[in-house]
Homo-oligomer: A and B are copies of this chain.
């Protein structure tokens, strides 16, 4: 999405390490060389080396034990860290994932929502329907609405997964909006209204059905 003018050393090394693992040079289960050695090999400081390794640790490719070493947990390019993956991901895949998550969240929200949730969703819906000056505002209010539903689902894990994706969705929506400026399709406003009503009625089946119809792209 964004094209950094310069790729940091840490990211370059992360990519390099990934290929090493993919190529089988460091098999799953094996211990990789200590940070100090790697830093020397790559000609960087240990700080930079650590940063490179940490992104792989966080995504579960590597696991480190203090006083022992760092081990390879999984292999394959599929295991790139989340940030990188989402950046590289196809628009189609992000849209698909969004649809699934929003469907799930709609079901949960219909089951678990309380009165406060309903008020907040209603408010977000109202804001969404107002005319906006810029496309940025429009995209933002759309996401806000869905985020409120995500909160109403009362499942912090699902919420966090959705929230994490939203950062990327935002830019995607903008890109798309700039392409075809037809804005909201005629029934988009009605669909969002219906989704709200289904959740208010506590009707998970209806909520799922409507959520499936909201095609964002």
| Chain A contacts to B: CB under 8 angstroms | 58-60, 78-79, 82-83, 85-86, 88-90, 93-94, 96-97, 100-101, 104, 107-108, 151, 155-161, 163-167
Contacts and interface: CB of A to CB of B under 8 A. Distances in A.
A159 to B, nearest CB: 6
B151 A93 contact: no
B89 A163 contact: no
A59 B159 CA distance: 12
A96 B105 CA distance: 11
Contacts of A78: 151, 156, 159, 163
Given A89-B156, A151-B78, A161 B104 contact: no
B157 A94 contact: yes
B160 A85 contact: yes
B96 A100 contact: no
A62 to B, nearest CB: 12
B155 A96 contact: yes
B60 A158 contact: no
Contact of A89 (B94, B96, B157): B157
B104 A155 contact: no
A157, A163, A165: most-surrounded residue (chain B CB, <10 A): A157
A156 B85 contact: yes
Contact of A155 (B97, B156, B161, B163): B97
A156 B60 contact: no
Given A78-B151, A166-B60, A158 B86 contact: no
Contacts of A60: 163-164, 166-167
B157 A93 contact: yes
B158 A82 contact: no
